[in-house]
Chain A
Amino acid sequence: MRFVDEFRQPELISKTAEEIRRLAGTKRHYRMMEVCGGHTHAIYRFGLKDILPENIELIHGPGCPVCVLPMGRIDDGLAIAQEPNVIFAAFGDMMRVPGTRGSPLEHKARGMDVRIVYSPSDALKLARLNPGKHVMFFAIGFETTAPSTALTMMRARAEGIRNFSVFCNHVTIIPAIRAILDSPDMRLDAFIGPGHVSTVIGCRPYEWVARNERKPIVVSGFEPLDMLQSIVMLLRQLQAGEAKVENQYKRVVPWEGNRAALQAMAEVFQLRPYFEWRGLGFISQSALRINDKYSEFDAEQRFEVPGIRVTDPKAAQCGEVLKGVLKPHQCKLFGRECTPEHPIGALMVSTEGSCAAYHSYEHRKAAMVSLSSIA
């Protein structure tokens, strides 16, 4: 696969890992946070922790748009879909996330019309094909996905489609990074910056992390060589006492971002004054809602939304895990009451959630006698 296989070449990966070991030495302990869930997934999928030295600790950040969605919002979306003739359309990532009375898939088993879509355009297509029904698209994602949702609504308007709405749960990445840095129990040296969000917002929005917080941040791709190269770049900055924004993912991320995508977002969305993030609490100016110009597509305007806030069970430590303060297995419920089959929090059911990743990929490795006998 072009632009994929080259960045998975084993010899180059080994060489880069060796360079990291050389740079990292043994005396200093480095704490680097990868903000976005896609990077968390990549770390586990490619087994990158096995080839990094012990003194580089990767802390998983809150960039998993499914994980940070409060349960109340899932209940709200499902409540809308209880209305007669409504089709609930969402990405596969949402299907097993638990609401108070079950996940979307469980609701489907009880008779709700729930469909998996792979694109907001698929949801619009469903609306075209089912004129007697209303399609409600449960939109999630950071700025990577928001422009596509926006463009879809613009297309819906252009075509005069009336039986389509969006339940908007798009969130923005910068406030999440701010919340991490503002958190008193967080000690981080550097950031592996979001890759695909940056194709939309560019690299400039991270400049305050370097300038004001004095932390290096490298916008990174998702292949093993991308992430390892980003770690090399971060180590070099740290050792030189520098703190700047660098773009490792140059082949895809334009420094200035994608103007057309940003324009589509501006056309359709506006910032909510505040929004609740699971585990992080209420954060101001951190989420998008559909603006008045496009209110006919706003599911929250067209339907009654219960809007009931659901707090997580006290024992669930989703917040601390999201912020990277706790490792997944340090949560009291991990692997016991909360497993991928019976998840309590979204971090256990989302494919990017650190608890799910840790449970599926990692924690049995800890029982292994010696990893060096593998490979």
Chain B
Amino acid sequence: MCLAIPGKIVEISSENCDSAVVEVIGVRRRIDLGLLQDDKPTPGDWVLVHVGFAMSKISEQDATDQMNTLRMLGEIDGAMQEVRGYGLDEVN
């Protein structure tokens, strides 16, 4: 719910593996990776940052899939018919 921004991990501290630097279009911020113990990110990974902590790794695949789904909306006839099949008698 709160403000969280995607950032790319550019550096992980050698003294403290929970400390990393993310980059958001040229702005670099030091963040804490302590909440991602189970699935530690590496430089190049994208994470969601909230109050200085990485909350989750961002899945590029899921993002791409989502974009594809959205592009199909209203473009391919097949998709439109599938949508109409959801009982849309109210559509003018």
The residue of chain A having its C-beta at the shortest distance from the C-beta of B23 within the complex is: A2
- A121–B35 alpha-carbon span in the complex (Å): 13
Given A1-B24, A147-B35 in contact, is the A120-B51 Cβ separation under 8 Å? yes
B35 touches A260 (CB 8 A): yes
Given A18-B74, A196-B2 in contact, is the A251-B62 Cβ separation under 8 Å? yes
The residue of chain B having its C-beta at the shortest distance from the C-beta of A145 within the complex is: B51
Contact of B58 among A197, A225, A252 (CB under 8 A): A252
Chain A residues lying within 8 Å of B48, measured Cβ to Cβ, are 196, 199, 252
Residue among B32, B56, B58 with the most chain A CB within 10 A? Answer: B56
For residue A172, CB closer than 8 A to chain B, the reply is no
A251 touches B58 (CB 8 A): yes
A37 touches B1 (CB 8 A): yes
- A86–B53 alpha-carbon span in the complex (Å): 26
B56 touches A252 (CB 8 A): yes
For residue A259, CB closer than 8 A to chain B, the reply is yes
A250 touches B25 (CB 8 A): no
- A147–B51 alpha-carbon span in the complex (Å): 11
Contact of A225 among B3, B5, B70, B90 (CB under 8 A): B70
A197 touches B92 (CB 8 A): no
Interface residues in B42-67 by Cβ distance below 8 A to A read 46, 48, 50-53, 55-56, 58-60, 62-63, 65-67
Contact of A25 among B2, B5, B35, B92 (CB under 8 A): B92
For residue A112, CB closer than 8 A to chain B, the reply is no
Chain A residues lying within 8 Å of B38, measured Cβ to Cβ, are 258-260
- A49–B8 alpha-carbon span in the complex (Å): 32
Given A148-B35, A252-B48 in contact, is the A1-B1 Cβ separation under 8 Å? no
B90 touches A25 (CB 8 A): yes
For residue B17, CB closer than 8 A to chain A, the reply is no
A196 touches B1 (CB 8 A): yes
B50 touches A148 (CB 8 A): yes
B53 touches A26 (CB 8 A): no
B86 to chain A, nearest CB (A): 5
Residue among A25, A196, A197 with the most chain B CB within 10 A? Answer: A196
* Additional A-B contact list (9), CB under 8 Å, known A118-B51, A145-B50, A225-B70: A4-B5, A4-B6, A12-B71, A16-B70, A16-B73, A16-B74, A232-B73, A260-B34, A260-B38
A contact set with B: CB distance below 8 Å: 1-4, 6, 12, 15-16, 18-19, 22-23, 25-28, 35-39, 63, 65, 91, 118-122, 141-142, 144-145, 147-148, 151, 155, 173, 194-197, 199-200, 222, 225, 229, 232, 236, 239-240, 248, 250-254, 258-261, 264, 352
User: Can you list 12 A-B pairs, Cβ within 8 angstroms, ordered by A?
Assistant: A15-B74, A16-B74, A25-B91, A38-B3, A120-B52, A151-B34, A240-B86, A248-B66, A251-B59, A251-B62, A251-B63, A259-B38
